[in-house]
Amino acid sequence: MYFTQLAAASLAIGLTTAAPAPTAQWGGNWGNWGNWGHHGKPPGKPPGGGAPTPKINVQLGPRPYYLVDNMDEGPLKKKLESCKEEPKSTSSFSISHRGAPLMFPEHSKQGYDAAARMGAGIIECDVSFTSDRELVCRHSNCDLHYTTDILAHPDLAAKCTEPFTPANPENGTAASAKCCTSDITLAEFKSLCAEMEATTLNALSINQSTPYFGRIGITPDWRTNMYAYSCAEPMSLKDQIQLVEGYGLNFTAEAKTPEIPMPFQGDYTQEDFAQQIVDTFKNYSIAANRVWLQSFLPDDIFYWIANDPAFGEQAVYLDERADLSTDGYQTAVDSLPDLAARGVKIIAPSIWQLITADNATGQIVPSSYAVAAQKAGLEIITWSFERSGPLEVEGGGYYYESVANLINNDGDEYTVIDVIAQKVGATKIFADWVGTVTYYANCFGLV
């Protein structure tokens, strides 16, 4: 998703290791349908079609338990405590945002594996494209210099849109670089290692002689570089589809807002890009009702509605208008009935837009945005939990900014999730560490 604010949760405790390759077991006897190799060919349509049943031994790790223990006393804490010893399963309420980037390099195989293990029903690929027009999972078109080790490959670094310039501590100039997926081919992209989203550039200037030059950046102390030292594998959309399908899970793919001038190479338009995403899923015989396409650009949503209605039916309009101008929030609220009339079914604003502080009662309640979306008949999804630092700090920062005065401990995250689920009525929630959301969903029967 778009927002690059560094935020999320604390505690460097989690899964001990990335999950092993899944052994897909389907409800029916589909043989090895879920097990074709990493570079395998797409399978034919499974006999009988329909959605596979995920069979994953879901493990949430200690973090949800820590959060429940950290909550203020009350009925919600009691309810969440009552589920502690029950087994947990995959939930369609739980969407993996970029894999599991609280602790694993974003959009890496290892991060997606961690998300599947933590019960995500849906796993996200933010889609960008390479110079040979192959689709790859990256949070933005031009983030390779801070989400991969491209700067440690001199031959590839030389292809960056803007080359690496070291910082100059003498005059206070920061280091810079700009490396886009479209600067390199798919094969070159696959030769990279994914790394934690980090402010690597100034570190690079200072530490050029270290063995991890270009690899390991300055990760916030509430995330970890633990899983970045070995090479985390970046993935194409095709790789990601095969991996997620192997787990029997569902998909969300975002057409990234272009940072590369379009049409690319003179003739590759934004519409071609939006269509290529759909065609990739079709080529793997993935049913449209298992794919949530998303975009911050309303035109992408309208394109899918007009050109591929089965996919357009559940396309998600990611709404960040409130962050772009001072009257953006109200403009967005006022536009919801019109968006619904134009065929948009699902709206996804950030968490803070959906809630507000009722200062008279000290309660967190649905915002005017949430009420208007309900009234317009729109389904609501939100982003992204576990992307803030510790909630003790500054009321949780960006994602909680509309209720900051009511947030003061990590356990408050569940208070907010509860309002979003029960009062706002969101059907799905993105998280950087899905175990937290999967725990809530299982406890409340949202599976």
Ligand X SMILES: *[C@@H]1O[C@H](CO)[C@@H](O)[C@H](O)[C@H]1NC(C)=O
Minimum separation from the CB atom of position 78 to ligand X (A): 27
Beta bridge partners, 358, equal: 363
> Per-residue x/- marks for ligand X, 271-310, CB under 6 A?
-----x--xx--x-----xx--------------------
The footprint of ligand X on residues 247-266 (CB under 6 A) is 249-250
Both tokens of 115, joined, read 């998300």
Does 174 bind ligand X (CB under 6 A)? Our answer is no
Both tokens of 120, joined, read 């995500």
Minimum separation from the CB atom of position 441 to ligand X (A): 11
Minimum separation from the CB atom of position 110 to ligand X (A): 20
Minimum separation from the CB atom of position 188 to ligand X (A): 19
- Site size for ligand X, by CB under 6 A? 25
Taking the least distance from each CB to ligand X, the nearer of 327 and 338 is 327
What is the secondary structure of 307-363 as a DSSP string? Answer: H-HHHHTT-EEEE-HHHHSTTHHHHHHHHHHHHHHTT--EEEEBHHHHEEEETTTTE
- In eight-state DSSP terms, residue 57 is -
| Nearest-angstrom CA–CA distance, 88 and 446 | 11
What is the secondary structure of 148-174 as a DSSP string? Answer: B-GGG-HHHHTTSSEEEE--BTTTTBP
| Nearest-angstrom CA–CA distance, 438 and 417 | 11
Minimum separation from the CB atom of position 146 to ligand X (A): 14
The footprint of ligand X on residues 402-441 (CB under 6 A) is 405
| Nearest-angstrom CA–CA distance, 371 and 375 | 6
Taking the least distance from each CB to ligand X, the nearer of 392 and 401 is 401
Q: Which of 59, 70, 89, 92 binds ligand X (CB under 6 A)?
A: 92
The footprint of ligand X on residues 179-238 (CB under 6 A) is 203, 206-207, 210, 218
- Maximal CA-CA distance, the chain: 67
Minimum separation from the CB atom of position 52 to ligand X (A): 8
Beta bridge partners, 383, equal: 350
Does 130 bind ligand X (CB under 6 A)? Our answer is no
Instruction: Name the residue type at position 191.
Output: S
Give me the residues that bind ligand X (CB under 6 A), please. 51, 54, 90, 92, 121, 168, 171, 173, 203, 206-207, 210, 218, 249-250, 276, 279-280, 283, 289-290, 356-357, 359, 405
